[in-house]
Chain A
Amino acid sequence: MKVIVIDDDRGILEVVKIILTDQGFEVVAVSEGKDAFESIIKNSPDIVLLDLWMSGMDGREITRQLKSQQETQKIPVIILSALNDVEKKAKEAGADGFLAKPFNISDLLTLIKKHSR
Chain B
Amino acid sequence: MAYFSGNLPSKKQQTEKNTKEIARENDILQAIMENTKAKLAYLDHDFYFVRVNLAYARNSGYKKEELIGRNHFELFPNKENQIIFEKVKKTGKGVIFFRKPFQFLNQPDRGLTYWDWTLVPIKNKNGRVLGMVLSLVDVTNDVNSDAERERLLTQIEMERKWAEQLAIEAEERASELDTVFSALSEALIIYNKNGMPVSANPATVKLFGFNPVGRSRESIINLSVFRHRKGDLVTMDEMPSTQALQGKITPSKYFLITDSTGKESMVLVSATPIKRREKVIGAATVMHDVSESWLVEKQKDDFVATASHELKTPVTTIKAFVQILQRRLQGDKNNETFRYLEKMDKQLDKLTALIGDLLDVNRFEAGKLDLRQEKFDFNQLVDEIIEDFQRSTESHQIIKLGKIKGNIYGDRDRLSQVLINLISNAIKYSPSAKKVVVLVKEYKGLLKVAVKDFGIGISLDDQLKLFKRFSRIDTGKGERFAGVGLGLYICSEIIKRHNGKIWAKSKEGKGTTFFFTLPLKRRRPKI
B-contacting residues of A (Cβ < 8 Å)? Answer: 9, 11-12, 14-16, 18-19, 22, 53, 82-85, 101-105
The one of A84, A85, A101 in contact with B316, judged by C-beta atoms closer than 8 angstroms, is A101
Contact indicator B327/A101 (Cβ below 8 Å): no
Q: Are B317 and A19 in contact (CB under 8 A)?
A: no
With a CB–CB cut-off of 8 A, which chain A residues contact B370? Answer: 85
Residues of A within 8 A of B327 (CB): 22, 105
Contacts of A82 in B (CB 8 A): 308-309, 312-313, 316
Give the nearest-CB partner of A53 in chain B: B309
Contact call A84/B359, Cβ cutoff below 8 A:
yes
Answer whether residue B305 sits at the interface, using C-beta atoms and an 8 A cutoff. yes
CB pair A103–B316 under 8 Å, yes or no, is yes
Q: Among the interface residues A9, A84, A105, which one has the most CB atoms of the partner chain B within 10 A?
A: A84
Q: Is the CB of A105 within 8 A of B320?
A: yes
B321 lies within 8 A of chain A by Cβ: yes
Please, how many angstroms separate the alpha-carbon atoms of A14 and B356 in the complex?
25
Q: Are A84 and B324 in contact (CB under 8 A)?
A: no
What are the 4 A-B residue pairs with the smallest beta carbon separation, nearest first?
A: A82-B312, A11-B317, A102-B316, A15-B320
> Other than the known A14-B317, A102-B348, A103-B320, what 9 A-B pairs have Cβ atoms closer than 8 Å?
A11-B314, A12-B316, A12-B320, A15-B324, A82-B313, A101-B315, A102-B319, A104-B323, A105-B327
Decide yes or no: A83 and B324 within 8 Å by CB, A9-B313, A11-B317, A102-B319 being known contacts.
Answer: no
Query: Would B313 and A12 count as touching, CB distance under 8 A?
Result: yes
Known: A104-B323, A105-B327. A12 touches B317 (CB 8 A): yes
26 A–B contacts, CB within 8 A, in A order: A11-B313, A11-B317, A12-B316, A12-B320, A14-B317, A15-B317, A15-B321, A15-B324, A18-B324, A19-B320, A22-B327, A82-B308, A82-B309, A82-B312, A83-B305, A83-B309, A84-B356, A84-B359, A101-B313, A101-B315, A101-B316, A102-B315, A103-B316, A104-B319, A104-B323, A105-B323
Once the chains are docked, how many angstroms separate the CA of A85 from the CA of B359? 11
**Would you call B352 an interface residue if the criterion is a C-beta within 8 Å of the partner chain's C-beta atoms?**
yes
- Residues on B with C-beta less than 8 A from A104 are 319, 323
Q: Which residues of A contact B314 (CB under 8 A)?
A: 11
Known contacts A101-B312, A102-B352; decide if A22 and B359 are in contact (CB<8 Å): no
For this complex, into which size category does the number of interface residues on chain B fall?
A: 20 to 34
**In the complex, which residues of chain A have a beta carbon less than 8 angstroms from the beta carbon of B319?**
102-104
User: For A22, what are the chain B residues with a Cβ–Cβ distance below 8 Å?
Assistant: 324, 327
Chain B hits for A18, CB < 8 A: 324
For the complex, give the distance between the alpha carbons of A83 and B359 in Å: 10
A101 to B316, CA, bound (A): 6
A68 to chain B, nearest CB (A): 23
Chain B residue at minimum C-beta to C-beta distance from A15:
B320
Q: Quote the shortest CB–CB distance from B323 to chain A (angstroms).
A: 4
For residue B309, which residues in chain A have a CB less than 8 angstroms away from its CB? 53, 82-83
| Distance to closest chain A CB from B59 (angstroms) | 101
The docked-state distance in angstroms from the alpha carbon of A18 to that of B305 is 29
> Which A-chain residue is minimally distant from B318 (CB atoms)?
A102
Chain A residues with Cβ under 8 A from B356's Cβ?
84
Q: Give chain A nearest CB distance to B391 CB in angstroms.
A: 13
Q: How far is the CA of A105 from the CA of B348 in the complex (A)?
A: 14
CA A114 – CA B309 in complex, angstroms?
Answer: 27
